[in-house]
Amino acid sequence: MKVLMLISNGFEEIEALGTVDVLRRLGVEVTTCSVTGLKKIISSRGIPIVCDKEVSDIYADAALWDAVVLPGGQPNSNTLRDSDKVMEIVKDFADSGKLTCAICAAPIALERAGLLSGRKVTAYPGCLACDGSYEYTGEKVVRDGNIITSKGPGTMYDFAFEIANALGLGNKLEELKAAMMLY
Amino acid sequence: MKVLMLISNGFEEIEALGTVDVLRRLGVEVTTCSVTGLKKIISSRGIPIVCDKEVSDIYADAALWDAVVLPGGQPNSNTLRDSDKVMEIVKDFADSGKLTCAICAAPIALERAGLLSGRKVTAYPGCLACDGSYEYTGEKVVRDGNIITSKGPGTMYDFAFEIANALGLGNKLEELKAAMMLY
C-alpha cells in the first residue's frame, strides 16, 4: 500500500505526523511530499521537519498510489487549496477511484477541486462554505465512497483508522490499538 | 512557563510532537533539546525533525525551567536512560521539586536515575524492572508529587493534560479540547 501525503508550512503536527505514524505501523508506505518547493517545512507550532520528497520530484499519477492524504493546520490548508498542482493531483486521485482524504481545514482543498459535491463530509467547524452542494455532517470522520474527511487533531485516530479500513487493513487495528495503548 | 523536552533518534512521534503541540497551544514555551550532539534527529518511523537546541548549547539548570519531559519510542528511551547528562538533568529537576515527566518506555530513564523509588508510576507495559522499590499502577497517567509518568502514544493527551494541570494551566483545558476537536 502506497500513500501520498501532500503537506506544507503550518501543518498540524498530530494530524500529519500522527497519521504517518499509524499508517507506517500498519506497514503502509507513506511518502510525505512538500508542495512548497523545499523539502524542509515547519509545523503550525514551530517544529521543522524534512519531507521525503518535494512534489516536483515525484510521479504523482494516481495509478501509482493507493491514497492521497491532506493534513490540516494553517497556512497549510490554504496553501493546499490554492495550489493548482494539488488541485490536479486530488482530482486525478478522486476521478481514478483512489482514496482521497483530508482532515481539519484541509477539506477546503477538496471543496475547491469540486470533489465534495453530492457527498456527505465533515471538517473543522466553520471552514467549509457549505453552499448546499454537499452535506456537512459534523461527525468525527466520514467516508463517502472514496472521499474521507475528518475534523481535527482530536479525531486523528478516527481519520487514520478509517483510511486503514478503506485500504483493507482493518484486521490489523485491534493489535495496533493495543500496541499504542489506545483503549 | 518553560518546559525542556530531552529527545533523541527513534522518538515516538505522537508522544513527543503531540505533547509539544498541546503545550505550545497552551502558551507554554517548550524547548525541544536533542541529546545526540546534532539538532537534526529522526523519529521511530522515519520522520526527520530539527530540534530547537542541542543539550550542550543550553543551560539545563532546573532553576531556569518549570518541567522536563522525556518522550518515548526506541532507541530514544534507551539513549535517554544511558546518557549521564540526562541522568544529571532529571536528578536536578526532581531534587529541585520541578516537574519530571516521562511517557512510554522513557520512565526507564527515571528508574536508572533512582527517581521512581517509593512512587506510584506507570509506563509502557514490560519496560520497567518493577523491583519492588516503586508501585507500577498500569494507569494511563500517574502523578506522584513532581513525577508524572504515562503509557504510550494512545495516552499522550492524558500525559500532556496532566503536565498542564501540574503547571497550573488546568483552567485552559476545556477551551483547548474544544479547539482540538477532542470530545
Give me the CATH code for the A2-179 domain, please.
Answer: 3.40.50.880
Residue A127: which of A67, A81, A94 has the closest Cα? A81
How many whole angstroms separate alpha carbon B140 and alpha carbon B158? 7
Flag whether pLDDT at A9 surpasses 90.
Answer: yes
C-alpha torsion sign, points A75, A145, A178, A24: negative
Residue B12: which of B52, B44, B51, B49 has the closest Cα? B44
Catalytic residue among B33, B104, B127, B130: B104
| A contacts of B141 (beta carbons < 8 Å) | none
pLDDT tens across A127-161, in order?
A: 999 999 999 999 999 999 999 999 999 999 999 99
Quote the radius of gyration of chain A (alpha carbons, Å).
15
Paired with A147 in beta bridges are A100, A144
| pLDDT given at position B14 | 98
Q: How far is CA A51 from the centre of its chain?
A: 15
Mean pLDDT of B43-58: 97
- What is the value of ipTM here, to two decimals? 0.97
Residue of B nearest to A12 (CA): B21
- Asked whether B51 and B83 are in contact (CB, 8 A), the reply is no
pLDDT tens across A52-105, in order?
A: 999 999 999 999 999 999 999 999 999 999 999 999 999 999 999 999 999 999
Q: Verify whether the Cβ–Cβ distance A49 to B46 is below 8 Å.
A: no
Calculate the average pLDDT of chain A: 98
Question: Would you name the residues of A annotated as active-site residues?
Answer: 104
- Domain ranges for chain B, please list them: 2-179
| pLDDT given at position A151 | 98
Considering only CB atoms, which residues of chain A are within 8 Å of chain B?
12-14, 17-18, 20-21, 24-25, 32, 40, 43, 45-50, 104, 124, 140, 151-155, 157, 177, 179-183
| pLDDT given at position B117 | 97
Distance from CA of A86 to the nearest CA of B (A): 22
| B contacts of A124 (beta carbons < 8 Å) | 181
| A contacts of B124 (beta carbons < 8 Å) | 181
pLDDT interval class at A183 (50, 70, 90): confident
| pLDDT given at position B183 | 83
Q: Which long-range contacts (CB under 8 A, 24 or more apart) does A33-37 make?
A: A33/A4, A33/A5, A33/A6, A33/A7, A33/A58, A33/A60, A34/A7, A34/A8, A35/A6, A35/A7, A35/A8, A35/A79, A35/A80, A35/A83, A35/A85, A35/A86, A36/A8, A36/A9, A36/A79
The closest CB to that of A49, out of B25, B47, B124, belongs to: B47
